[in-house]
Amino acid sequence: MKLLKTIMVLLVGASIIMAKNYLGAELYSKESVKYGRFEIRMRMVYGNGILSTFFLYYDNSWKGSPEPWREIDLEVLGKNNTGFQSNIITGNSGSQTHSDKFHSFNVKLNEGYHTYAIEWTPDYIAWFFDSKEVRRATGQQVIECREKMQSYRFNLWITSNSNWAGAFNPSVLPVYQYINWVKYSSYTPGQGPNGSNFTFAWQDNFDRFDSQRWAKANYTFDENLVDFSPDNIVVKDGYLILCLTNNQNWGFNGTIPKDDYTSIDQNATVKAGKGNFEFSAISSELQFRIPQREQVKISLYSLAGKKLGETDLGYFNAGTHRVNMKKWFNLQAPAIAEINAGNIKDHLTIFPGL
């Protein structure tokens, strides 16, 4: 956020006084991490003055010196629905350093779902849009971000800074930010699939609200025209919905626009797990290599993260094996296979035509 995040919560007993005319939403993680890759499938919001975001944040940043400010942002500014702003914020609450850049695309981000990603490593921070890298930052701010673990957050709110995001017009309310899924891969230098630096850790498809991972904000901050309300965070039909409303009509009562994503890299062969698994779309054949006798199971997910099915292939002896996937699945669209063979677990994309 390009603002001073001074938390101002008014309490009367256990109740929170919502003093502002509008209600927004912030979802934040209960855990903090250091480094990793976050990938999010979401549909953003359009409207002057409105911010719809995903960001990483050191939870004590707002307290001020001696606590440092550490933040990594991906923000859609309401006055422009064809791009997002990337930013790193360091320093402290009284003296911040920003490195914001705006990235434009030839699509309207409020009219469809897109895949956004942030990679955070000790040496660089990178932002991606629909699998394409749009920025890679290195240097002093990246070094400073090594100091603290950060939580991961979504929020939807209104800024009073019209020069930044435009002058807010309440006639656009209510508006909603839709998140289909979020995926996290931990930073494992050289130990990920094909020797990459990231290893899949978890994915939340929002089939339910995971209270072990997430919490709902009930505060506000300077230059924010909304109070964050837990009632404006809704999980429904496999989607997370952040709501921006007036303070009389909160929550979500509309129809969720479905994610119809079908675009994918059409490689004929996909490898994963440092050569442990290989799938050929040409022959519909999965090849895998295991060091000892193991039970092999495959779970199949849509690109939106919805589970399509699961099958047990049985036990295989040590060595290399080939399985014709036509025997197990009849795909009509690209899908993600999660393969489990003892201690070997990986994900790869398979294609229709099986």
**Looking at the annotation, which residues are catalytic?**
71, 75
Helix segments in 72-174, DSSP class H: 140-144, 162-165
Nearest to 44 by CA among 87, 106, 120, 107: 107
Please give the DSSP secondary-structure letter assigned to residue 33.
B
Q: Using DSSP, state whether 51 is helix, strand or coil.
A: strand
Strands (E), 267-352: 269-272, 277-280, 285-290, 294-302, 307-316, 319-324, 335-341, 344-350
Q: Cα 327 vs. chain centroid, distance in angstroms?
A: 34
Contact 277, 193 (CB under 8 A): no
Q: Cα 311 vs. chain centroid, distance in angstroms?
A: 28
Helix segments in the chain, DSSP class H: 140-144, 162-165
Token pair 């006798």 in the structure block, residue? 293
Report the distance separating Cα 351 and Cα 237, nearest Å: 25
Report the distance separating Cα 10 and Cα 347, nearest Å: 46
Strands (E), 11-69: 11-12, 15-16, 22-29, 36-43, 50-57
DSSP secondary structure letters along 289-307:
EESS-EEEEEEEEETTS-E
